[in-house]
Amino acid sequence: MTAQVGLGTRGSEGDSQPESESCVSRSGKVLLEVENVVTGFGSNTVLHGPSLSVREGETVGVFGLNGAGKSVLMKVIAGVLPLWSGRLAFDGADITRVPAEERVARGMGHVPQGRQVFPGLTVEENLRLGAYTLRRHDKGRYPAALAAVYERFPVLAQKRNQLGGSLSGGQQASLAVARALINQPRLLLVDEASAGLAPVAVRELFHTLRQVVATGVTILMVEQNVSFGLQLVEKVNILQMGRIAYSGDVNTLDQEALVAHLGIGRMLGKGVAGTLAGRNVPPGAPESGKGGKAPKRAAPGSRGGANKRKGAAQG
Amino acid sequence: MGQTLILGLMTGGIYGLFALGIALVYRGSRTFNFAQGEIGTMGLFIAFGLVERVGLPWLVGALVAILAAALVGFVFERLVVRVMIDASRVAVAVGSVGLLMLLLAVEFKIVTVSARSLRAPIGGVGKEILGVVVSPTHMLSIGVAALVAVGLALMLKKTDFGLGVLAAAQDPVAVRLVGVPLARVSGFVWAMGAALSALAALLVEPTVGVFAPGYASELFLKGLAAAVVGGLTSLPGAFVGGLVVGVTEAGVSRVFASAAFPGIKSLTVLGLILCVLLFRPGGLLSGLVAKGESAS
Amino acid sequence: MKRLPAPRMLLLALAFGAIPPLVGRAGLLTDYSAILVGGAVCYAVAGLSLNLLMGYAGQISLGHFALLGVGAFASGIFSGADRMGLPFVVSIAGAAAVGAAIAFVIGLPALRLRGLYLAVVTIALSYAAEQSLFRASFISGGSSGMQLPRPILGSFVFTRNADFLAVLLLLLLLVWQFDVNITRSKLGRAFHAVRTDEAVAASFGVDVTRYKLLAFVVSGAFAGIAGAMYGHLYQFVNSESFGYHKSLLLVIVVVLGGLRSRAGVVAAAGFFSLLPVGLIKVFGTGFRGTDLIVGALLLMYTVARYPGGMAEAMRQGKERQAVKAAKRAAVAQGEAGDEQPVVPKLPQMPRPSGLPARPAEMAGMPLLSATDICVSFGGLKALDRASLDVHRGRIVGLIGPNGAGKTTMFNAISGLLRPDSGSVHLLGEDVSGLPAHVRARAGVGRTFQLIGLAKDLSVTENLLLAQHVVAGYGVVSALTRIGKAAKVERELRDRAAEALEALGFERFAGTPVKNLSHGQQRIVELGCAMVTAPELLMLDEPSAGMAPGAAENLAVRLRDIRDELGRTVLLIEHNIPLVLDVCDELYVLSSGEMLAHGAPDEVVRREDVIGAYLGEAVAI
């Protein structure tokens, strides 16, 4: 019964290369570049110059408390919020002034905050709209793309003629993801997809996203629910009050750092981490380097790094 | 009774066309184009000029009028609405008031105040239905109105762009995030609204007889009432709203025919608008709205 | 805010009264020109009337000429020889009264309708008025219309247009002065607040409903006067005189002249009245009607570029530099480091007169007690039996992850939201059924996440607005400046100056709030919350947007409020270090439920609390 962070693993195959269903390769090329973005609303500066980059094939997460600026960052990358200074580049090309629709055409896909499926359109119509760019380029590819989506999301296939607004929260989340994927994007931007979902739906979404990750699509995800997000990403950025407080591999992040960088326990510093560390470590916690199944809900698994530190603290 | 119904439905169909244009613009830009009616009058003047003065056939005149109207709507969207993407919706409406004044001013200047009349597209004696003489033009009006409404609905549902228009009204941000060019949707919607207005004005004019500057704006108000009754964002609702307004108006006229109080029709329109906005802001039919369309 | 001091007004009145008749008699002003200028003056009053409604109070009216018509016909009925035959002055006053009454009736639906919908209703109203009400014989005389007499002073009749022009100018001056008095009083500030943000207005104790209706009433009175002026000037009105197209042109005038700018509106009114004649004189009759074209094009351009109107555009020109500079500073900060203004010592204001005495120390009873608050939006439970107590002299923190319902809780406590069930007790009294502005009066000061100030007003005006609850004078006193208004306003200004000095913001006294940096706005907001010495301060994320250094300083100030001033603070925060530093106790809200309550150090270490922040771990 610990409150340990679910610093779980990514992909149930551990560290082996995930099988690619799409043609996206892990080339290591930088797909998205965000440089020193400063922006806000009116007189309120929300982002104070954070930078990050996403390489092809990676799954990158951005975490932070409310008000840290995660959503604003996503909106700037998407192109629906202008930036005051800074630079954005996608696949080598500068997209700082490119409008949102154009960015989608270039290969960005979005799962927006709150899902935002079109409530008055059916599931199939939602998907058809999602494939807007695809259909403009090559209408012939659409039937296959649609079929593939229905195969991966059988629930959507069942409800294809139902209105988007009549679906449950979890189903809407699936629809939002499917709608973004059907266009075969190069970069998928997921904005707090788990927010407002019931626990059951969150689990559903998790599995969905895990599958997506496994296909090798590049993902940048913003999450409020740190436990949820940490189990999916391989690179972590922590945003605090509009600045990047931490950026690195998920392996190198231990609980103390996490809690500290999020800003939950800054004043107490080591105190909180020590308290956490002093709790029971679930039996059979895996060593670092391997993945391994995360144990049951009550006692989420932890990563090797944290174990090592706990050992030291206890010792 | 039946007479009133028929009469009401005939005028109602036209109001429905106006209402379609209004609801469309509201869905697209969440505001009203107060000049929309006057664009229709402008179309009438153009058609008049081509048909009565130059001698072209009615159809040609009508087509040119509709295209001209669409152009005006499109240009206005480009130059004013698009620039005001972040401004309040009321400010955009005020801007459209400017367009209204411009059209009126130009009309007064070029054509002076005297009334005109445009000959009907189809001649001939009408049939009698339930004691009311329904002229061929009447029937044409209803037929075209219904056809256009259905055609529009199909276009919106079946084409990708049309779907984008529907989606943009439901969620303008999300629609950009699927790659639909919001700007083009906006342009389309304003052009279409203006075109529908011109079409409606052309269809209704022969039944009323004469027109002058400001003519269609009065009809526009009834179209506005119809759209409000129909729930403002529901397209089928707008059309049905038009029928409701038409029938109510005819009924009230009949009942108070001999009353000394003038302008009973306009009071009815006002009453309808007030009642709906205050008590059933989702539209009179908000409980019964057709599937596939969410009210506001 | 321009105003003419009393001696100058008197001088102007004398000039207006004396010059036109003299010039007319000297032959320099023809009867025709006099009637033109007179028309422009009437139009100016109409413009001022609409400016008050649309510009100050933000209530759109696309059918204002209907109110003018009402005034004209009313005056005709009151003064007509074959009607009631009352003297001119009585008729004008009567026209004002009728205009006010009708406007009140129009204002009622306006309470429920916003922006666009209100626009639709007003245009439909004016159309209906033109088509039906104004065609009724007994009201307007139908198309044959009614005659309106010129005023009589003793045995002198104002038949000459130049003579009557003097009367019109004096009436314009009167309405102008009323308008000035309104903007200088709590009325103007309240209108402004209502226009900017009703929640903020309510938090300052403004009864939003009352002031919306008041705006309609006063605007209607002015409109009635303008209509009567027209009627008596042309001596004839009929059913066609007040068409709904005229209302639209008036909107153009007000928008172009600049919403909220008196001088701009009067200038625009004059311009548009005289433009048609001017154009014809200069360019010949071919230019008839061109004035409308010009006006329409100008309107579209202005609205597109400057939705706030031309005067606003000119003001903006100067301000734009300031805003750009602020943005550049923000950008530089983003790269350089933290340089936020430090929160100064907050003003220690004595309790203002006019408020009930501080309630005696209630042994054991909490200052604020919210019990079992339930709020649902649609099917979603935002708050589920959430309770909290705040005892006097404590700083209590309310924390929780995003979407937990903290602001909803605040809204339920301060009265902006009516919960589905549960109760709120403030200072011993059950306030569960009371609206927000009443609770504000009872001694609650509140700040907002997105800065609860009237952004277009200056810092001083905001400080005055914040004292709305103690502005103890009535509408008539405000309008006429007779009675308590002047004295009370002086007191308010003194308090505002004190607060300014305490904050160290004297140099920003006249600066519009929106031109200040975020941190500075936050300071002004805190100052405003403090200026009426409230018992309970409810702060919604006061450190949002502040750099860590400034936030630490804020902590010091909050402790001052508790220790030196003996007040009580309830705050929502995401800045956990600040909360740990400053709060005496913490409540943790998560998914609408109170998860924990207790001493900050303990609460923050609890597993369930940390778990709430980190989110549910997902089983696989």
Q: Encode pLDDT of A105-116 as tens digits.
A: 999 999 988 888
Residues counted in chain B: 296
Which residue type does A119 have?
Answer: P
**B187 close contact with A: CB closer than 8 A:** no
C620–A206 C-beta distance less than 8 A: yes
Secondary structure of C550-593 in the HEC alphabet?
Answer: HHHHHHHHHHHHHHCCCCEEEEECCCHHHHHHHCCEEEEEECCE
Cβ-in-10-Å burial (0-12, 13-18, 19+) of B139 comes to middle
Architecture of domain C364-443+534-620: 3-Layer(aba) Sandwich (3.40)
Instruction: Show Cβ contacts of residue C516 under 8 Å, excluding neighbours closer than 6 positions.
Output: A43, C326, C459, C508, C524
Alpha-carbon torsion (B59, B60, B63, B69), positive or negative: negative
Residue A38: strand, helix, or coil: strand
Domain-embedded: residue A314: no
pLDDT grade, residue A307 (50/70/90)?
very low
CB burial readout C341-368, b (16+ within 10 A) else e: bebeebbebeebeebeeebeeeeeebbb
A118–B171 C-beta distance less than 8 A: yes
Spatial contact of C179 and C2, defined as CB atoms under 8 Å apart: no
Does A90 have pLDDT greater than 90? Answer: yes
Dig out the tokens for C127 from the structure: 């159309």
The residue of chain B nearest to residue A119, with distances taken between CA atoms, is: B170
Nearest CB among C115, C123, C125 relative to B90 is that of C115
| pLDDT score of C102 | 92
| pLDDT score of A179 | 94
Cα(B179)–Cα(A131) distance, integer angstroms: 9
Phi, psi of B294 (to 5 degrees): -100, 135
**Which residue range is the domain that position A44 belongs to?**
30-253
- Give tens-digit pLDDT for A250-287: 877 777 677 667 766 543 333 334 333 333 222 223 33
B177–A110 C-beta distance less than 8 A: yes
Averaged pLDDT for residues B144-166: 86
H/E segment holding residue A41: strand A30-41
- Show the beta-strand stretches assigned E in C201-355: 236-237
Which of B190, B193, B197 minimizes the C-alpha distance to B40? B197
Which of C593, C548, C592 minimizes the C-alpha distance to C574? C548
- Give tens-digit pLDDT for B243-281: 888 888 888 887 776 565 667 777 888 888 888 888 877
Dig out the tokens for C558 from the structure: 């909050």
First to last CA, chain A: 21
Going from N- to C-terminal start, the domains of chain C cover 15-242, 364-443+534-620, 455-532
Residue C11 distance to chain B (closest CA, Å)? 39
Chain C hits for A262, CB-CB cut-off 8 Å, are 613
First to last CA, chain C: 66
Q: β-strand C585-590 against C568-572: which pairing, if any?
A: unpaired
Spatial contact of A3 and C610, defined as CB atoms under 8 Å apart: yes
* DSSP class per residue in C414-476: HTSS--SEEEEEETTEE-TTS-HHHHHHTTEEE--TT--S-TTSBHHHHHHHTTGGG----HH
Q: What share of chain C is helix, strand, coil (3-state, %, to 5)?
A: 60, 10, 30
Spatial contact of C434 and C415, defined as CB atoms under 8 Å apart: yes
Phi, psi of A143 (to 5 degrees): -55, -40
What is the Cα A231 distance to its own chain's centre? 10
**C295 close contact with B: CB closer than 8 A:** yes
Residue A60 distance to chain B (closest CA, Å)? 20
- Show the beta-strand stretches assigned E in B84-179: 127-129, 132-134
C617–A300 C-beta distance less than 8 A: yes
Chain C hits for A227, CB-CB cut-off 8 Å, are 614-618
Domain-embedded: residue A109: yes
Cα(C431)–Cα(C452) distance, integer angstroms: 22
Domain-embedded: residue A186: yes
Dig out the tokens for C456 from the structure: 């277009």
Spans of chain C, pLDDT less than 50? 1-2, 334-339, 619-620
Residue C612 distance to chain A (closest CA, Å)? 9
List subunits contacting chain C, requiring 3 or more Cβ pairs under 8 Å: A, B
Dig out the tokens for B62 from the structure: 């009508």
B vs C, Cβ pairs < 8 A, gives 138
Going from N- to C-terminal start, the domains of chain B cover 15-215
Which range of A70-79, B21-30, C52-61, C270-279 scores highest in mean pLDDT? It is A70-79
Spatial contact of A96 and A50, defined as CB atoms under 8 Å apart: no
| pLDDT score of C410 | 92
| pLDDT score of C346 | 65
Distances (CA, A) of A182 to A111, A113, A127, A271, C513: 12, 18, 7, 47, 47
Averaged pLDDT for residues A107-126: 90
Interface test with B, best of C127, C197, C298 (most B CBs within 10 A): C127
Residue A84: strand, helix, or coil: coil
Domain-embedded: residue A283: no
Residue A132 distance to chain C (closest CA, Å)? 31
Residue A93: strand, helix, or coil: strand
* DSSP class per residue in C27-91: TSS-HHHHHHHHHHHHHHHHHHHHIIIIIIS----S-THHHHHHHHHHHHHHH-TTTT---HHHH
pLDDT grade, residue A230 (50/70/90)?
confident
Question: Nearest 5°: CA angle at C589, between C544 and C615?
Answer: 85
Chain A hits for B177, CB-CB cut-off 8 Å, are 78, 80, 100, 104, 110, 112, 116
**What's the structural domain count of chain A?**
1
- Torsion of the alpha carbons at C34, C39, C45 and C46, rounded to the nearest 10: 180
Cα(C170)–Cα(C15) distance, integer angstroms: 9
| pLDDT score of B257 | 67
What is the Cα A292 distance to its own chain's centre? 21
First to last CA, chain B: 34
Which residue type does B76 have?
Answer: F
Averaged pLDDT for residues A187-200: 84
Instruction: Show Cβ contacts of residue C417 under 8 Å, excluding neighbours closer than 6 positions.
Output: C375, C408, C411
Instruction: Show Cβ contacts of residue C527 under 8 Å, excluding neighbours closer than 6 positions.
Output: C346, C347, C463, C499, C500, C502, C503, C505
The interface predicted TM-score of the complex, written ipTM, equals 0.82
pTM: 0.79
- Give the domain CATH number at A226: 3.40.50.300
Which residue type does B103 have?
Answer: L
Dig out the tokens for C557 from the structure: 């100030």
Domain-embedded: residue A265: no
